[in-house]
Each structure stands twice: as structure tokens, then as C-alpha cells.
A and B are shown apart, each in its own frame.
Chain A
Amino acid sequence: MSQFAEYAISALLLFGGAFTLVGAIGLARLPDFYTRLHGPTKATTVGVGAIMLSSVIYFSSVDQGIDFSEILITVFLFMTAPVSANMLAKAAMHIGVKTVKDTEGNPWHQ
């Protein structure tokens, strides 16, 4: 493995780890359910994206030749994360979860 690849992998791992940590902090710090919903969809998009990229670089530099399986994991994650966020939001609106009091606008009831 070249030195450049090692640095790139370390940087991406640190970057992805930092974003996942911030997502977790957000889950604890944000005021209500709807704002906390932003944590999981965000931390996964950038944090997991960076970690997957580092995995692609590692296996490409070890095995010679790009391995696409990690890219597929990222693609599947990007396709499923919005759906789960949408389902959580719909369920919260259905049972009437309270919003934080300075929220503008209202959730629907249909």
C-alpha cells in the first residue's frame, strides 16, 4: 500500500468518524422529535459515505482493481435512509408528537 493511500484512508476514517459523532451529539442535543430526525439521515450520508470511500481505497490498493461492493452498500444506504426518515415522520405526525414551541408552521392531520 502506498503512503498516499494510507494518508487518504486515515483522513477519510477520521472525517467519517467525526461526522457520525456529531450526528450522535445532535440526537442528544436537539430539542424535539422532528429535529432529532435530522441526525440519523445526515450522519449516515456523509459519515458513512466517507468511511465507505476509505474502505474502497483500502481494498483497491491491497487487491489491485476497484471493488464495487462497498459502493453498492453506500447506494443502498442512500436509497433506504430517506424512506425510513419519511416513515418515522409520518408515524410521529399520526400519533401527534409535540413540536418544540418555536416551530413555525404545523404538521398535517389527514
Chain B
Amino acid sequence: MFDRLNFPQPWLSWVLFLTWQILSDGVTGGSVVLGLILAWIIPQLTHGFWPERPGFKKPWRMPAYILRVLKDIVIASFSVAWLILSPRSPRPVFISYPLKLEHPLAISILASTISLTPGTVSADISDDNKTLLIHALDAASDQEVINDIYNSYEKPLMEMFQ
């Protein structure tokens, strides 16, 4: 019975514990106990969904990446807002983006980044995890969008994971 009383993913447990402390109103005895229970039970329940451990090689590069994404979100939001209000109609494009990343977590971070930055939504991933289907709201050419995404997001992610 006691062999399940462990923390298979210590980092996930820490994140869950700290998140619970922030969510509850001030750190009290009750919130610590409940936080510990959640930090133990959620990794146990979601164990099956994580076939391999996230392989961060250089996690300290993450804050710079997040800041860059936030900056891009704000800048690109203005261009999308302008496009919505301007009379000309947009030129939507479906783009097949060739993925160079291999790690599943890295790919899902990239896909989420693409969806969050205005003007592009990642719509689907091919069964062999090699191609990402992206819908761009307004793009002059495929290649331009592919180069943009590769230089600003995929390259930093590759440095982080490989």
C-alpha cells in the first residue's frame, strides 16, 4: 500500500503545490495539507498521459521565451485588430509547417504559441508528428510565415530541448 506514496514527477508536484498556495487565500495549515494531497494525487492520476518525462535541457531559457511571446502577442494583436476594422478582406492561407522539433511537449508548446500569437491558429498535426497544419488569417506567402515561426519560436525551443 505504501509503495504508491511517492512523487513520480517532483517538478509537477512542486508546481501544483505552489499553485494551490497562490490560489488559496494565504498560506495556512489547511491549504498546505490540501496542497500536499493534490501534489501527490494529480501526478498519480495523470501518470498514464506522460509516456516520457519532459526533457528540458536548458530550462533557464524559458523566461526569455515567454517574454518574447508576450511581446509578439501585443504587437501582432494590433495588426489583427487593424485588419478586422479595415475594409479590405483578409487573405487566409492553410500552411503545412514542417516540424523539426521531435519532443511531444516541445511540439505542443510550439503549437500553443502559434495559436496564441495573433494571425495564426494551429489546426492539426499529422499522424507521424512531422507536419503541423496552420491556418493564417492574413499572409502574403507560405514561406514567409514558415520562416517567421521557425526563427522566432522553433529555434529557441530546439535550443531548450535538444
Contacts and interface: CB of A to CB of B under 8 A. Distances in A.
A83 B123 CA distance: 10
Interface in B123-160: 123-124, 126-127, 133, 135, 137, 142
Interface residues of A, number: 41
Interface string B87-106: 00111111110000000000
A100 B137 CA distance: 11
Contacts of A81: 115-116
Given A46-B77, A85-B115, A104-B93, A69 B123 contact: no
Interface string B32-54: 00000000000000000000000
Interface in A79-104: 79, 81-83, 85-86, 89-90, 93, 99-100, 102-104
Nearest to B85: A22
Range of interface residues on chain B?
35 or more
Nearest to B123: A89
A108 B96 CA distance: 9
Interface string B69-113: 000011001001100110001111111100000000000000111
Nearest to B90: A35
Nearest to B24: A69
A105 B131 CA distance: 14
B133 A107 contact: yes
Contacts of B1: none
Contacts, number: 112
A64 interface: no
Contacts of A110: 124, 126-127
Q: Which of B93, B121, B124, B126 has the most CB of A within 10 A?
A: B121
Given A31-B89, A46-B74, A46-B77, A22 B124 contact: no
15 contacts: A23-B84, A25-B85, A26-B84, A38-B119, A69-B22, A82-B112, A82-B114, A82-B122, A89-B135, A93-B124, A99-B92, A102-B91, A105-B96, A107-B94, A108-B126
- The 3 A-B residue pairs whose C-beta atoms are closest, nearest first, are A82-B115, A105-B94, A89-B123
Contact of B122 (A34, A86, A104): A86
A55 interface: no
Given A34-B135, A38-B137, 5 more contacts: A35-B90, A38-B80, A68-B22, A89-B123, A103-B94
B121 A22 contact: no
B94 A37 contact: no
Contacts of B95: 105
